[in-house]
Amino acid sequence: MSPVAITPSNGRANLMMASEDSSPGTPRPLTLTPSPPVSRSGSSFDLSLREDETELGLLLRTLDFAARKHTCQRRKDVDQTPYINHPIAVANFLASTGIQDVRVLQAAVLHDTVEDTHTTVEEIADAFGVDVARIVEECSDDQSLSGLERKAEQVRTAPYKSREAQQVKLADKLHNLESIRRSPPVGWGIRRIQAYFVWAKQVTDICGPSHPALAERLNALYETAYTRVNGVYFPCHPDACAPLTEAEKDRIDSRLRGLPAGEKVCPKPLFF
């Protein structure tokens, strides 16, 4: 199911990693229309609660749904962490920085299900309501596009996302960047790491006003994050990063020092 694609008036996104400009496409409307804004205390606030289900129960049901969808998936880091760790972390970033709207937390937990599993927007709408499905759809890339086109599309459409979708985007990028900083994906060199950070900052600079607390954490990351490739320390964002500090160097080295004797930094891939 394709997310919304809206072309801003200021033209093409200038991506460091793009080999050529991406031409603006015809805007594609969302398949689901969001409900009108409602107060959390209003009687019309519909969370698709089942009989006798609390908001906590609803959130746990959402986690269970996502865990089953991502069961056989792993992250690309050298630790090959279970994929479900990522959406849980995204929701935690939001909850720990003041987001209390359970619909946003649900969307954070589900934000990769349409894009990366055999899940439809309609399936999410049936299980958790139109508002949650709409946010998830906004956060889902159009898989008919190439990787570079999808990145350009994220920059191009970021200003037109709902506040809730922008908040999920911020938390999503923060966890991805923290993960890359700590343990770069297998096969990623410094140029690809830096290109990802440069692109991510373009997206998060646009979405930042939707949630200043996360925007502040992201800016701190861009200014401090280094990684180590083949024994050499590199700034993750070549333009925003300050000089390497001893504290940052120790953070990088601590992971290598913590490896058990004989364990390789890059284990063999796991297949399911």
Q: Is 87 exposed, middle or buried (0-12, 13-18, 19+ CB in 10 A)?
A: buried
141 in catalytic set: no
**How many angstroms separate the CA atoms of 180 and 184, rounded?**
4
The answer for residues whose C-beta is within 8 angstroms of residue 193's C-beta and 6 or more apart is: 180, 184, 227, 229, 234, 236
Given a contact cutoff of 8 angstroms between Cβ atoms, the answer to whether 66 and 87 are in contact is yes
Partnered with residue 234 across adjacent β-strands are: 227
Of residues 77, 79, 101, 116, which has the active-site annotation? 116
As a whole number of angstroms, the distance between CA 208 and CA 258 comes to 35
Give one DSSP letter per residue of 220-268, joined into a string. HHHHH-EEEETTEEEESSTTTPPPPPHHHHHHHHHHHHTSPTT--SSPP
**From 115, 122, 149, 205, active-site residue:** 115
Tell me how far apart the 2 most distant CA atoms of the chain are, in Å: 60
Q: Examine the residue annotation and report whether 116 is marked as an active-site residue of this protein.
A: yes
DSSP class per residue in 117-140 = SS--HHHHHHHH-HHHHHHHHHTS
R_g of the chain computed on alpha carbons: 19
| Catalytic site positions | 115-116
